[in-house]
Amino acid sequence: MGLAIAFIFCLIFARLIYVQLVWGAELKYRATDQWNREIPIIAGRGTIVDTNGQVLVGNKTTYSVFVRPNAVENAEYTATVLSGIFSLEPEKVLEKLNGGKVSEITVARQASKESVEKLVSYGLPGVYYSRDNSRVYTYNDVLCQVLGFTANDGSGLSGIEKFYDNILSGTNGEISYTTDIVGKETQNSVVVYNEATDGDGIQLTIDIDIQLACEEAMRSVYLSSKAKSVSCIVLNPQNFDILSMVNYPSYDLNDVPRDDKETLNSLSRNSIVCDIYEPGSTFKVITAAADIEEYLKGNSKAFSTSHIFNGSRIRTVDGTKIKCWSDHSNGKHSNQNLADALNNSCNPCFTDIALSLGKETFYGYLNNFGFGNVTGLDFNGEALGMLVPQSLVRDCDLARIGFGQTVAVTGLQLACATASAVNGGNYYTPRLLKSIVLSNNKKIVNEPVLKFKPISEKASSILSSMLEGVVTEGSGKKAFIDGYRVGGKTGTAQKYEDGHIASGKYISSFVGFFPADNPQYLALIIVDEPEGTYYGSAVAAPVAKEIFEDIIRIKNIQPYVREQL
What's the burial of 440, exposed, middle or buried (CB within 10 Å: 0-12/13-18/19+)? exposed
Which distant-in-sequence residues (6+ apart) come within 8 Å of 87 by Cβ?
A: none
Which distant-in-sequence residues (6+ apart) come within 8 Å of 284 by Cβ?
A: 341, 342, 345, 350, 402, 403, 404, 489
Instruction: Please pick, among 158, 281, 420, 435, the residue that the annotation labels catalytic.
Output: 281
Return the number of other C-beta atoms located less than 10 Å from residue 260's C-beta: 12
DSSP state of 254: G
Q: Is residue 176 a contact partner of residue 194, using CB atoms and an 8 Å limit?
A: yes
Residue 451 host element (H or E) = strand 450-452
**Percent helix, strand and coil across the chain, each to the nearest 5:** 40, 25, 40
Between CA 3 and CA 411 the distance in angstroms is 84
Tell which residue, 90, 123, 121, has the closest CA to residue 107: 90
- Vertex 486, ends 452 and 377: CA angle to 5°? 35
Between CA 408 and CA 295 the distance in angstroms is 27
Between CA 397 and CA 354 the distance in angstroms is 10
Active site residue 391: no
Positions marked active-site: 281
